[in-house]
């Protein structure tokens, strides 16, 4: 009892909040961007993006019109002088009348941490550069979901570009292609300047699901283009996986694949959690698309099924933060579990406000639930700076008249430091060992 009291006091002390109340007139949605058709030589690497592929490797993905273009990446730490070369794989797909280009995936490494590399795709064409994340704290994540490709998307991307970050986290809804396959290509071009330089780690949202009954599997385009390190993390599906950066273990779950206790995803999650070593990765984050804690009228209750299946497991595992998208607005919770504030629960953040064409979700349920700390329907992005094993600084930046304005910020202390992890050790072990 005394211990619980102590934990409560400590945690509430550390979650200090700055709230700037705003008499702020929210902007209208912006139009979908128009992309000039800009013919390139067929070998030319397009839509270049990178993602983490194990501790010391990076997967480089790009598209060429030319079917014979090789899936090689040359790279090194000096511009124009490539000391290493890696051979990868390629794929392509047809979707009704659309045929994709050749989609190349090449893993490069081992790479040094916190180092700039120069690289070239397919043996010719322009040089790109990337920076690998650090091996230790501090490490910074840019976070935004529901991006799309509108004027607001551009504004959000510009603001992210101004921030010093190591890895981009995207909890679902990338291109808003919605069956129009060429929009996957324009999205790839739009994000290339950022996504070719820092790893983009994504999970799927509803707008990635392009089902045609009996004809097309829901995530064919997404899986072909945005291959994530699922094999590297022991998962059998690109729709859920995990990875580690500095001292952070990050689990990307799938809201649009089976998640019940009998599902492959649930078994994989248990196996993944059993591998987490909080002395090595004191911070534990989870991302998925549909929020569990959402006091917006939009998509109310849609996450309930997944929450019923998985929340007790995440709670037993002392997950520090859960980041979701889907609702086109921003909301931050207290540490919460089972619908109530709880010092050993996760901080839930909804950040589906990247700038998609559907516009913002303005309607909120009143009164504001006890667990909800800050909520606002504006476009923007989040930054999570994990300073050390115990302290992280979270901030939300609103796209105010195209300027990034920091509108919500909070220090979060890890559950490792609070005693929750050690207190729930046996409970977690029992759940993980249950058949
Ligand atoms: C972690 O960072 C916080 C915030 O900067 C600082 O107050 C604290 O002393 C640091 N802890 C350690 C162990 O360095």
**Fold of the 2-16+133-433 domain:** Purple Acid Phosphatase; chain A, domain 2 (3.60.21)
pLDDT digits (tens, 9 = 90+) for 281-335: 999 999 999 999 999 999 999 999 999 999 999 999 999 999 999 999 999 999 9
Residue 404 CB: number of other CB atoms within 10 A? 20
Antiparallel, parallel or unpaired: β 283-287 and 248-252: parallel
CA distances from 268 to 56, 238, 241, 305, 391 (A): 23, 12, 9, 18, 29
Region 229-246: what's the mean pLDDT? 98
Do 379 and 152 contact (CB within 8 A), yes or no? yes
Region 91-97: what's the mean pLDDT? 94
> Over 90: is that where the pLDDT of 85 sits?
yes
Judge if the beta carbon of residue 393 lies within 6 A of ligand 1: no
From 390, 392, 411, 413, the mutation candidate for ligand 1 (largest count of ligand atoms within 8 A of CB) is 390
The more confident residue out of 12 and 97 is 97
> Over 90: is that where the pLDDT of 387 sits?
yes
Q: How far is the CA of 247 from the centre of ligand 1 (A)?
A: 15
From 282, 388, 409, the mutation candidate for ligand 1 (largest count of ligand atoms within 8 A of CB) is 388
Residue 70 CB: number of other CB atoms within 10 A? 18
Burial 180-195 (b: 16+ CB within 10 A, else e): ebebbbbbbebbbebb
Average pLDDT in the chain: 92
Confidence of residue 192 (pLDDT cuts 50, 70, 90): very high
Residue nearest to atom 3 of ligand 1 (CA): 391
Region 386-415: what's the mean pLDDT? 90
Strands, sheet with 58-64, edge to edge from the N-terminal-most edge strand: 46-52, 58-64, 102-108, 89-91
Confidence of residue 421 (pLDDT cuts 50, 70, 90): very high
Q: What CA–CA distance (Å, rounded) separates 261 from 243?
A: 22
Region 76-102: what's the mean pLDDT? 96
3-class secondary structure, 6: helix
Burial 146-173 (b: 16+ CB within 10 A, else e): bbbbbbbbbbbbebbeeeebbbbbbbbb
Give 157-208 as a DSSP string. HHHHHHS--SEEEE-S--S--TT-THHHHHHHHHHHHHHTTS-EEE---GGG
Confidence of residue 7 (pLDDT cuts 50, 70, 90): very low
**Fold of the 46-131 domain:** Immunoglobulin-like (2.60.40)
Q: What CA–CA distance (Å, rounded) separates 315 from 338?
A: 9
Q: How far is the CA of 76 from the centre of ligand 1 (A)?
A: 35
**pLDDT reported for residue 24:** 53
The segment(s) of the chain belonging to CATH 2.60.40.380 are 46-131
> Over 60: is that where the pLDDT of 19 sits?
no
Cα 41 to chain centroid, rounded: 32
Taken as a whole, the chain contains a residue count of 435
Question: Which of 159, 168, 249, 299 is flagged as catalytic?
Answer: 299
Q: How far is the CA of 390 from the centre of ligand 1 (A)?
A: 7
The segment(s) of the chain belonging to CATH 3.60.21.10 are 2-16+133-433
φ and ψ at residue 37, rounded to 5 degrees: -75, 115
**pLDDT reported for residue 22:** 42
pLDDT digits (tens, 9 = 90+) for 349-379: 999 999 988 889 999 999 999 999 999 999 9
> Over 50: is that where the pLDDT of 12 sits?
no
Question: Can you give the pTM of this predicted structure?
Answer: 0.92
> Helices (DSSP H) in 200-303: which residue ranges?
220-225, 264-275
């Amino acid at each position: 009892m005394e211990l619980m009291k102590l934990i409560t006091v400590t945690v509430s002390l550390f979650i200090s909040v700055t709230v700037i109340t705003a008499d702020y007139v929210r902007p209208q949605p912006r139009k979908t961007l128009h992309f000039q058709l800009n013919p390139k030589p067929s070998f030319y690497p397009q839509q270049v993006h990178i993602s983490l592929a194990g501790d010391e490797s990076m997967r480089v993905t790009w598209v060429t019109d030319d079917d014979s273009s090789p899936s090689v990446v040359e790279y090194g730490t000096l511009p124009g002088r490539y000391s290493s070369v890696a051979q990868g794989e390629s794929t392509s797909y047809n979707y009704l009348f659309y045929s994709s280009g050749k989609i190349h995936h090449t893993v490069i490494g081992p790479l040094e941490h916190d180092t700039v590399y120069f690289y070239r795709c397919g043996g010719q064409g322009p040089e790109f550069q990337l920076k690998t994340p650090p091996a230790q704290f501090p490490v910074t994540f840019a976070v935004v979901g529901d991006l799309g490709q509108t004027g607001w998307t551009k504004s959000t991307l510009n603001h992210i570009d101004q921030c010093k970050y190591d890895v981009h986290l995207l909890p679902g809804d990338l291109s808003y292609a919605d069956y129009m396959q060429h929009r996957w290509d324009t999205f790839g071009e739009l994000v290339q300047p950022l996504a070719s330089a820092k790893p983009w780690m994504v999970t799927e949202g509803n707008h990635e699901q392009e089902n045609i009954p009996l004809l097309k599997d829901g995530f064919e385009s997404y899986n072909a283009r945005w291959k994530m390190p699922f094999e590297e993390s022991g998962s059998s599906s690109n729709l859920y996986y995990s990875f580690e950066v500095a001292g952070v273990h990050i689990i990307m779950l799938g809201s649009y694949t089976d998640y019940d206790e009998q599902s492959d995803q649930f078994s994989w999650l248990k196996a993944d959690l059993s591998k987490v070593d909080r002395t090595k990765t004191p911070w534990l984050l989870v991302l998925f698309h549909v929020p569990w804690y959402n006091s917006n009228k939009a998509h109310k209750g849609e996450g309930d099924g997944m929450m019923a299946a998985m929340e007790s497991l995440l709670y037993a595992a002392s997950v520090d933060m859960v980041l979701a998208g889907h609702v086109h607005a921003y909301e931050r919770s207290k540490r919460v579990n089972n619908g109530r504030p709880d010092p050993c629960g996760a901080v839930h953040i909804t950040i589906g406000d990247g700038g998609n064409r559907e516009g913002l979700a303005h309607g909120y349920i009143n009164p504001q639930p006890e667990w909800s700390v800050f909520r606002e329907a504006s476009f923007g992005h989040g930054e999570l700076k994990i300073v050390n094993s115990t302290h992280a600084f979270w901030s939300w930046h609103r796209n105010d008249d195209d300027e990034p304005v920091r509108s919500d910020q909070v220090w979060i202390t890890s559950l490792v430091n609070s005693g929750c992890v050690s207190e729930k050790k046996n409970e977690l072990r029992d759940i993980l060992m249950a058949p």
